Structure 1
Amino acid sequence: MNHRKPHPDDRSDNVEKLQSMVQNTIENIEEAEASMEFSSGEQRKQIEEKNERRRESIAAFREEIKNEANAQK
């Protein structure tokens, strides 16, 4: 029988991963804003709403980064 051991919870690079996620989300916002120039009214509204959710995600990521950084100390 093939028994697998669970991997230990390695949180050592969580801050870096979260920072990368923040950067990717910022890039997505910028690309979406650039595409708005060529978008119609409804598309524009959807992009604005999605970017607002992205900004909320960034705030949550940054809070989690703070928590992780404090946990690593």
Structure 2
Amino acid sequence: MPRPKPDDRSDNVEKLQEMVQNTIENIQKAEETMQFASPEEQEKIRAKNRRREEAIAAMRAEIRDEAAAREHGCQ
């Protein structure tokens, strides 16, 4: 039976930053497509983008936590 891998958090900040950037790009792409969408679809896009903004805020908070943990030697 294989052993579980240890929790490697050394690159969490970088991964989270990439996720934030990807989410921002998704928001921008969604906003660009809104001009071609029906009013109903536009509202769905707005709602999804609001959820994306909330996710970005949570990821940024986690980035701060991970960076602080890294500074204090916890990885």
> 2: distance between equivalents of 1:39 and 1:4?
50
Decide which of 23, 26, 29 is 1:25's aligned counterpart: 23
1:49 is matched with 47
> 2: distance between equivalents of 1:34 and 1:23?
17
1:15 is matched with 13
Deviations 1:5-60 (A, max 9, x none): 11010000000000000000000000000000101110000000000000000000
> 2: distance between equivalents of 1:36 and 1:63?
29
RMSD between aligned residues: 0.4
**TM-score computed with the length of structure 1 as normaliser:** 0.96
> 1: distance between equivalents of 2:31 and 2:12?
29
> 1: distance between equivalents of 2:49 and 2:30?
8
Q: Percent identity?
A: 61
2:64 is matched with 66
2:36 is matched with 38
Structure 2: 5+ residue runs without aligned partners? none
**TM-score computed with the length of structure 2 as normaliser:** 0.93
Which stretches of structure 1, 4 residues or more, deviate above 4 A after TM superposition? none
Structure 1: 5+ residue runs without aligned partners? none
